[in-house]
Structure 1
């Protein structure tokens, strides 16, 4: 997981259109790894975790927009900073939690999701 949306989100939706991997979803919306990426079929998303990229999964939030962690690369290798932060009306309080993914891991994730963007 790279970035998360906090409960400070005002659900404006600006971030959805800006995400190059389509990792951001509206509250209550089902998600898939395949949407907005080149992923298809069974995909390894963790040490011992596999997901079917074509399957629809339950929403991660019913109250606020949310980021699918397996699809978020913090825009590494594509932009200088996460595009969701660029368009967010309150980027400092909106997406302030980060996982401990290394830069190289984020770039590798981006190349797996959408190589043509790099």
Structure 2
């Protein structure tokens, strides 16, 4: 499932540079995660790097975008130009 940054975000800027898929960007008020790009770091790391570095623990699973590990790996392959 994609991740989502909640309203506790303090815009500390540490999550954006660690995202291997460039899924994190500054939104109108706080950082946001693009669910089309977020793979929860599956295929890159053992755990989502944004969650690891977040000092206020404001990144949660996004219930509006449920995905299995297999679906996240398929998304990563598409993002990298591989087979779906």
TM range (shorter): 0.7 to 0.9
Q: Does residue 20 in structure 1 map to residue 23 in structure 2?
A: no
Instruction: Give the drift of 1:17.
Output: 0.4
Aligned to 1:97: 61
Return the TM-score normalized by structure 1.
0.62
Larger Rg: 1
| Structure 2: gaps of 5 or more residues | none
Supply the distance in 1 between the matched residues of 2:81 and 2:16 (Cα, whole angstroms): 20
Where does 1:68-79 land on structure 2 (aligned, <5 Å)? Answer: 68-79=34-45
Q: Which runs of 4+ in 1 moved over 3 A?
A: none
**1:97 Cα deviation (Å)?**
3.0
Report the TM-score, using the length of structure 2 for normalisation.
0.86
Q: Which has the higher strand share?
A: 2
Classify 1:74/1:108 alpha carbon distance in 2 versus 1 (closer, same or farther; 3 Å). Answer: same
Superposed CA RMSD: 1.7
- 1:106 aligned residue (62, 72, 75): 72
Q: Does 1:2 align with 2:32?
A: no
Cα distance between partner residues in 2 of 1:96 and 1:19: 15
Count of residues paired in the alignment? 80
Q: Could you tell me which runs of 5 or more consecutive residues in structure 1 were left unpaired when the two chains were aligned.
A: 28-61
Contact 1:25 1:66 in 2 (8 A): yes
